[in-house]
Amino acid sequence: MTVRETTRTVPYGSNSVSRGASVAARTGADSDSVIGCVMAHELGHLLLGPGHVPDAIMRASWGTGDLEAIRRRRLVFNRAQNTVIRRELQG
């Protein structure tokens, strides 16, 4: 996944945590919150598979609106993803 600022895209890979923190610092988002959402996104792949959706935390990239949602603690899994995750965790 990537975190996208208005004109730049930040790819996530081995240095995703430091880049996420850097983006957070420049955008005013809390770095711990951004890193937490990155971790939730990646854990989401373990439970939901490799795909992305056009909304919610499993978007392929996050723009300024998503960073604002992170700041307001509103970037979450959508209802369908919640259902699958709960089913997967219950075995």
Tell me which residues touch Zn ion (CB under 5 A). Answer: 1
Which residue's beta carbon is nearest to the bound Zn ion?
Answer: 1
H-state helical runs in 5-30: 16-27
Q: Are the C-beta atoms of residues 64 and 5 closer than 8 Å to each other?
A: yes
* Min dist. Cβ of residue 45 to Zn ion (A): 6
Q: How far is the CB of 36 from Zn ion (least distance, A)?
A: 15
User: Which of 24/48 has CB closer to Zn ion?
Assistant: 48
- Asked if 52 and 59 touch (Cβ cutoff 8 Å), the reply is yes
Closest distance of CB 7 from Zn ion, Å: 21
- H/E element holding 15? none
